[in-house]
């Protein structure tokens, strides 16, 4: 892991402790590849790259894994990789219709933003594309 960003937090919350070299360290566990993270769990989530690469169109079924948590999420922080790219407007609109605000940024900023919101006790989830 190339960058440690461990904050002091409630141990019951999933917190990003580090990222880089195609991996994440989240709540003392390592994940190789892109992830979905919410208050109670973190899972590998390879659909992130498909959503990122979908341009202005995407398959809403790709978000079924996230929408199962929709009653627990107010904000989805999406880390789009090493550099910022414009978000998919259809994705933004779809999440808005499901009462989930989308915050879109590069993965490093997304990890830090997620941690701050989680530590504040906000109803936040994240999708982070792995970066080298």
CB 38 within 8 A of CB 72: yes
- Residue 50 CB contacts under 8 Å (≥ 6 apart), including other chains: 58, 62
- Exposure of 79 by Cβ count < 10 A (0-12 exposed, 13-18 middle, 19+ buried)? buried
Query: What average pLDDT does the structure give for the chain?
Result: 90
**Domain containing 63 — which CATH number?**
3.40.1230.10
pTM of the model: 0.90
Q: Which two tokens stand for residue 111?
A: 């990890």
Query: For residue 12, what pLDDT is reported?
Result: 81
Q: How far apart are CA 89 and CA 38, in angstroms?
A: 23
Mean per-residue pLDDT, 26-47: 95
- 47: domain range? 3-128
Q: How far apart are CA 70 and CA 21, in angstroms?
A: 30
The residue with greater pLDDT, 22 or 11, is 22
Looking at the 3D structure of the chain, how many domains does it have?
Answer: 1
Query: For residue 102, what pLDDT is reported?
Result: 96
At CA 100, angle to CA 130 and CA 47, rounded to 5? Answer: 30
């Amino acid at each position: 892991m190339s960058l440690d960003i461990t904050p002091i937090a409630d141990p019951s919350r999933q917190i990003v402790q580090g990222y880089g070299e195609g991996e994440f360290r989240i709540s003392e566990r390592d994940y190789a590849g892109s992830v979905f993270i919410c208050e109670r769990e973190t899972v590998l989530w390879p659909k992130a790259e498909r959503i990122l690469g979908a341009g202005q169109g995407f398959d809403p079924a790709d978000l079924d894994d996230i929408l199962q948590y929709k009653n627990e999420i107010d904000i989805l922080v999406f880390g789009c990789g090493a550099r910022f790219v414009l978000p998919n407007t259809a994705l933004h609109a779809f999440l808005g219709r499901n009462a989930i605000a989308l915050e879109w940024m590069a993965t490093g900023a997304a990890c830090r933003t997620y941690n701050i919101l989680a530590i504040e006790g906000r109803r936040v989830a994240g999708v982070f594309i792995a970066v080298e």
